[in-house]
């Protein structure tokens, strides 16, 4: 479980997060949704400590992250897998080296053990036969999948994904959603996914926070999101032609 309490962050005089409190539950996929530029990535980075919040605290299973020294933080971080919005693959390493990188740094596994693990992770994101390619030789969606494979290579206790399926075709996006849901359950991970893809929301949103104007505007799950009375969330949810069809009609009662 990851708790963020009263997190505030501004850049200059632009307040991006205002007193945000969230609880990410263990064994569930927790979602942060919201429009572009609303501070989803900033919130995620505050939770992992890449951005220093102006105020607020973060707890990992009760351990106060905000008060830790760099070396104590390092221990928790080895339990974190993170997918960056842009992938953040290491350009100088090829696909399998990228995925094996955390294993090389933190385990004493032999090369063949590491390769086996890397191939397993790559097969889970449906990426075979790309092992020797460099990041510059990959398509956007392939980069994303390699980055996911790298994030899960160490079997993390905490998984953070910043828009895991943006830029992917619907089929692969679905596959990635399934994968995230599956491994979260399988390894009882605490998973946090930032997304603005309504398909993902309805598929994997076991707990959902909607962030609007720097605040948590709404929280719920995939079952009650369609019945929300919240004006801003309705605007967010029912924008596409597809989701409009899902909108419950007034008077038909729920």
Ligand X SMILES: Nc1ncnc2c1ncn2[C@@H]1O[C@H](COP(=O)(O)OP(=O)(O)OP(=O)(O)O)[C@@H](O)[C@H]1O
> By C-beta, is 4 or 102 nearer to other proteins?
102
Tokens of 228: 């929300």
Give the x/- contact pattern for other proteins in 21-50, rule: CB under 8 A. Answer: ------------------------x--x-x
Query: Crossing angle of helices 95-106/140-152, nearest 10°?
Result: 20
Binding partner at 91 among Mg ion, ligand X, other proteins, none, C-beta below 5 to 8 Å by kind: other proteins
Q: Which of 101, 153, 103 is nearest to 124 (CA)?
A: 153
DSSP assigned state of 13: T
Partner from other proteins, ligand X, Mg ion, none binding residue 39, C-beta < 5-8 Å depending on class = ligand X
| Footprint of other proteins on 66-125 (CB under 8 A) | 70, 73-78, 80, 82, 84-86, 88-91, 101-102, 104-106
Q: Does 11 bind ligand X (CB under 6 A)?
A: yes
254 binds, among Mg ion, ligand X, other proteins, none (CB under 5 to 8 A by kind): none
Helix residue spans in 109-224 (DSSP H): 111-124, 140-152, 170-186, 198-204
Residue 217's closest CA among 46, 43, 59?
43
CA dist., res. 111 & res. 97, Å (int): 10
Q: Is the Cβ–Cβ distance between 59 and 5 less than 8 Å?
A: yes
Query: Does residue 47 interact with ligand X by CB under 6 A?
Result: no
Q: How far is the CB of 39 from Mg ion (least distance, A)?
A: 8
Is residue 41 within the footprint of ligand X (CB under 6 A)? yes
Of residues 37 through 56, those in contact with Mg ion by CB under 5 A are 41
Q: How far is the CB of 42 from ligand X (least distance, A)?
A: 4
CB 205 within 8 A of CB 29: yes
Q: Is 31 in the site for ligand X (CB under 6 A)?
A: no
- Identify which of residues 76 and 175 has a Cβ nearer to other proteins in the complex: 76
Q: How far is the CB of 39 from ligand X (least distance, A)?
A: 4
Query: Is 177:101 a contact under the CB 8 Å cutoff?
Result: no
Residue 68 vs 202, nearer CB to other proteins: 68
d(C-alpha 133, C-alpha 153), whole Å? 18
Least distance to other proteins, CB of residue 70, Å: 8
Distance CA 66, CA 252 (A): 48
- What residue 90 binds from Mg ion, ligand X, other proteins, none (CB within 5 to 8 A, per partner kind)? other proteins
Instruction: For the sheet with 190-195, list strands across it.
Output: 80-83, 158-162, 190-195, 29-33, 207-212, 215-220
| Residues making contact with ligand X (CB under 6 A) | 11, 16, 34, 36-42, 85, 196
């Amino acid at each position: 479980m990851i708790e963020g309490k009263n997190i505030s962050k501004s850049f200059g005089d632009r307040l991006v997060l205002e007193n945000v409190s969230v609880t990410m539950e263990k064994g569930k996929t927790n979602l942060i949704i919201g429009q572009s530029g609303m501070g989803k990535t900033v919130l995620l980075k505050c939770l992992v400590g890449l951005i220093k919040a102006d105020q607020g605290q973060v707890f990992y299973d009760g351990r106060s992250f905000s008060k830790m020294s760099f070396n104590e933080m390092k221990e928790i971080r080895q339990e974190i897998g993170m997918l960056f919005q842009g992938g953040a693959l290491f350009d100088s390493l090829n696909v399998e080296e990228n995925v094996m990188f955390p294993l090389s740094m933190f385990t004493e596994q032999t090369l063949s053990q590491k390769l086996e693990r890397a191939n397993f992770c790559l097969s889970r994101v449906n990426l075979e036969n790309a092992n020797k390619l460099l990041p510059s030789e990959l398509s956007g969606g392939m980069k994303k999948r390699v980055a996911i494979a790298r994030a899960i290579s160490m079997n993390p206790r905490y998984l953070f994904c910043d828009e895991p399926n943006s830029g992917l075709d619907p089929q692969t996006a679905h596959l990635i959603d399934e994968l995230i849901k599956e491994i979260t359950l399988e390894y009882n991970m605490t998973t946090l996914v930032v997304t603005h893809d309504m398909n993902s929301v309805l598929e994997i949103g076991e707990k959902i926070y909607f962030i609007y104007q720097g605040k948590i505007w709404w929280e719920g799950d995939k079952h009650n999101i369609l019945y929300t009375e919240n004006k801003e969330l309705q605007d967010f949810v029912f924008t596409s032609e597809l989701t409009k069809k899902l909108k419950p009609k007034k008077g038909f009662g729920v």
